[in-house]
Amino acid sequence: REFNLRSGQFVGNSFVLPRSKQSADWLDKDTLVIARDWGPGTMTKSGYPFVVKVWKRGQPLEQAKEVFRGVETDMRTGARTFHDGDGHQATILIRKRNFFENEFSLLTPEGAQRIVLPLKSEIGALLKGQLIVELDDDWTPQASTTKVPKGSVVSLDLEAVKGDPRNLRPTVIFSPTAVEFEQEARATKNHLLVTTLANVQGRVYRYTLGANGAWTREKLSVPENTTVHIVSTNWADDRFFLEMDGYLTPSSLLMGDAVANSLQPAKALPPQFDSSRDMVEQCEAVSKDGTKVPYFVVRPKNIKHDGTNPTVLTAYGGFQIATTPDYDPVVGKLWLERGGVYVEANIRGGGEFGPAWHEAGLKTHRQHIYDDFAAVAQDLVKRGITSPRHLGIIGGSNGGLLMGVEMTQHPDMWNGIAIMVPLLDMLGYEHIAAGASWVAEYGSASVPEERAFLASISPYNQLRPDVRYPEPLIFTTTKDDRVGPVHARKFAAKMEEYHEPFFYEEIIEGGHGAGADLKERAQTEALVYTYFSRKLMD
């Protein structure tokens, strides 16, 4: 339903949409552009809409006019309308061919006009009549012989795009370095904000478009060992909000002024645990192929390097998602305060070092991810921080797959494994829940080479009756509509068949998470850290 933010009431003669998997944005105050389930033949195999229609106020929904259509094998389609402070507007139609590849079109009165950009790119903002584009692939535009490297942020003149969308002339705003990569790009009324990770340390820059068409930048000051996210910007205002986190620094909201290039505290959470005895250090392991893999260790200051410290290691390693410093009161209260060590590894497959770091772990290259994680564990043991007797690992979703792989490939390296809402049957995942959405990440069992690799790493298929495994904690939810409970159930059933001990917890509610409400989430977290306490501390 349509809601008036000023009056705090629902609008009369408003837009009301039936429940569906859907997305909507404004074309103008009396027109919506919508992607939803329009009936048979309008949803992808992944369960998302691929037909976009324009719906005018007062018009029956069934009379909405179709303006764009993808295909059933896409992941999904949608639309987004951008504005800037100078009165420019652009409605972009987005055909998401798979998890990483997009085709963009400009919605015009004449229909959809394709914008020829690299498939691995995102349009993130509109500023001063310039479309802001984030590139996840190298790009040599048709009108140029100069290659723009992946990980760059560029601008495109909107009027030029309208005039000739196939002959684009980008202006580079940000270029990656060997250690610094863009994370977010968002516009205020007059400036562009870009957050980056520099060796997994958060940074923020303000960019300004000059009269000569060139971009200049200034750095905003933020502390070390923190992560910075853009919470909110507004095309009509130069004020913005950032969120800052650190392992031992409570989450804080910062209010910024893009004109003055300044930040000031707006609000911060009170400390949720006693961190006075702890410290954060960044270390580096060397993976099997020689790649250097950084990781963060949160530990007591007076740690003994005798291999007896109870340690929980985690990572994600997929979908170009970066694992960055984050204030977690649960870890602090239930683990750090009790003298435990907490480690986060920045393994390949993530986005800590740009698109190439992610691509190094795609499909049949995923063994790099699992080797990186094992290398971090071995480095922790080498440094005397912990030992297999006192080392536990935890991961959820794609991280749950990581846990399953590490359990089956290195059963002697861990004494506790928490496998949360996981993928585990990698030969069957495409046909379970939303699994078809992730073929671009994992590969497909229908491709012989990819099937062979998936079989070699699939935890469900790699369980062996003659191997002694650590006793894992397997957690799932009945109503997980993303990964589903089937992976966890099948894995547990096979362990039972092989007479291997395990703990299994399945709650009904909660979706793809730890619970439906705070009480359920608290119970799940308590379960996890009770498990680790008994496995690693006792």
Single pTM value for the model: 0.89
Q: How far apart are CA 209 and CA 216, in angstroms?
A: 7
Look-up: residue for tokens 């390949």? 348
CA–chain centroid gap for 513, Å, is: 15
pLDDT at position 224? 86
pLDDT tens track for 13-68: 889 999 999 999 999 999 999 999 999 999 999 999 999 999 999 999 999 999 99
> Does the structure show a pLDDT above 90 at 157?
yes
SS3 for 96-110, per residue?
A: ECCCCCEEEEEEECC
For residue 43, the number of C-alpha atoms closer than 13 Å in the C-beta half-sphere is 15
Q: What is the mean pLDDT of residues 485-510?
A: 97
- Identify which of 344, 341, 338 has the alpha carbon closest to the alpha carbon of residue 311: 341
pLDDT at position 528? 98
Are 348 and 361 within 8 A, CB to CB? yes
pLDDT at position 165? 86
pLDDT at position 166? 84
Q: What is the mean pLDDT of residues 77-86?
A: 98
> Hey, what are 478's tokens?
């009945």
pLDDT band at 145 (very low <50, low <70, confident <90, very high): confident
Q: What is the mean pLDDT of residues 1-7?
A: 93
pLDDT at position 375? 99
Distances (CA, A) of 134 to 92, 131, 139, 174, 197: 15, 10, 11, 9, 15
pLDDT at position 167? 86
Hey, what amino acid is at 515?
G
The sign one gets for the Cα dihedral 461, 462, 464, 470 is negative
pLDDT band at 495 (very low <50, low <70, confident <90, very high): very high
pLDDT at position 225? 87
> Does the structure show a pLDDT above 90 at 144?
no
For residue 390, the number of C-alpha atoms closer than 13 Å in the C-beta half-sphere is 19
> Does the structure show a pLDDT above 90 at 190?
yes
Length of the chain: 538
> Does the structure show a pLDDT above 80 at 125?
yes
Alpha helices in 39-92 (DSSP H): none
Rounded mean pLDDT of the chain? 96
Q: What is the CA radius of gyration of the chain?
A: 24
SS3 at position 534: helix
Catalytic residues: 397, 512
Are 475 and 419 within 8 A, CB to CB? yes
> Does the structure show a pLDDT above 80 at 538?
no
What are the extents of the domains in the chain?
Answer: 1-127, 278-537
More confident residue, 139 or 143: 139
DSSP class of residue 533 equals I
> Hey, what are 444's tokens?
């497909």
Q: How far apart are CA 520 and CA 13, in angstroms?
A: 40
Are 129 and 158 within 8 A, CB to CB? yes
- Spelled out in words, what is the top-level CATH class assigned to the domain 278-537? alpha beta
